[in-house]
Amino acid sequence: MQDIKQALTLRADAVEARLDELLPLVSSPEGEVVEAMRYSALGGGKRLRPFLVMETAALFDVEENYALQVAAALEMVHCYSLVHDDLPAMDDSDLRRGRLTVHKKWDDATAILAGDGLLTEAFGVLADPKSHPDADVRLKLISGLSLAAGSAGMVGGQMIDLSPNRSNLDLTGITRLQDLKTGALIRYACEAGAILGKASPEEFKALSLYAEDIGLAFQIVDDLLDHESTPEETGKPTGVDSDAGKATFVGQLGLKEARSKAEKLILSAKSRLDIFAGKAQLLRDTATFVLERRS
């Protein structure tokens, strides 16, 4: 676990520096929204999605500089989703990554605009040749992120999560909801590495399936942490989903079975990487990290 934590920190520092460059402060009147964007994007988070982009790209010896640009774009979309998710109209949360949420530090309008800014500019970051010199690769990266973040992905999952029928979902329904809401961006992270690396269809599929397994395990662990962890550990309120009466993996399966399901998914995720042999060891360790994380 030590190696993976070190690797995560190393990659997180690089992503932080790239985000800092991509979101320069401006002194004009609109600078307030940039400050809110920076507040959301800098200084926190596990940076798991950027890490997956960079590690999957590394399987194909992609130049790190390109992977970093794509990783930063994806993290911008992730941060936008957190800012909007925390708003009173959605999860109504005061705490994120151990700090006040953007709408608490500023106000709802600024939080909406900061999220909009991050989402919109992420596509510009991908369109920049710094993400890859080959325009066809950049186009694939852009359309992939659009699909993963839009109504067929994260936004669709969030819609289901907010719908009045949410509390009645069965296991299949919860799995689909989470596959869209959380899984789509995690899958994109791994597919982006494959796109950058011009992977073969077989390699692309293997990474996509790996991502599906860890994405679902990630969400099950999130439900477990919601039950078993404290706000001090997670940096956000806990007990929220169960208190809101939402159907969750833990609610459906119980703590023991939910953990066992997550463990099986992690084993399966690791087996998806067989075609990459020893080169994928850090990605196998990432799967273990997803299972054992405490925040």
Q: Which residues bind ligand GRG (CB under 6 A)?
A: 45-46, 48, 78, 81-82, 84-85, 97, 154-155, 158, 181-182, 219, 222
Output phi, psi for 272, to 5 deg: -65, -20
Q: Which is nearer to ligand GRG, 271 or 295 (CB)?
A: 295
Place of tokens 């907010």: 162
Output phi, psi for 268, to 5 deg: -65, -45
Which of 128, 144, 42 lies closest to 83, judged by CA? 42
Residue of minimal Cβ distance to ligand GRG:
45
Q: Which is nearer to ligand GRG, 97 or 261 (CB)?
A: 97
Q: How far is the CB of 135 from ligand GRG (least distance, A)?
A: 28
Q: How far is the CB of 140 from ligand GRG (least distance, A)?
A: 22
Q: How far is the CB of 161 from ligand GRG (least distance, A)?
A: 7
For Cα atoms 101, 120, 88, give the angle at the middle one, nearest 5 degrees. Answer: 30
Q: How far is the CB of 295 from ligand GRG (least distance, A)?
A: 7
Quick one: 25 exposed, middle or buried, by C-beta within 10 A (0-12, 13-18, 19+)? exposed
Amino acid type, 145: L
Contact by Cβ (8 Å): 183, 149: no
Q: Which is nearer to ligand GRG, 139 or 240 (CB)?
A: 240
Q: How far is the CB of 158 from ligand GRG (least distance, A)?
A: 4
Quote the CA–CA distance of 122 and 72 in Å, as a whole number: 8
Q: Which is nearer to ligand GRG, 105 or 279 (CB)?
A: 105
- Give how far Cα 63 sits from Cα of 81, 101, 112, Å: 28, 35, 34
Q: Which is nearer to ligand GRG, 45 or 144 (CB)?
A: 45
Q: Which is nearer to ligand GRG, 133 or 239 (CB)?
A: 239
- Give how far Cα 168 sits from Cα of 160, 174, 221, 254, 283, Å: 11, 9, 21, 16, 35
3-class DSSP state of 14:
helix
Q: How far is the CB of 203 from ligand GRG (least distance, A)?
A: 25
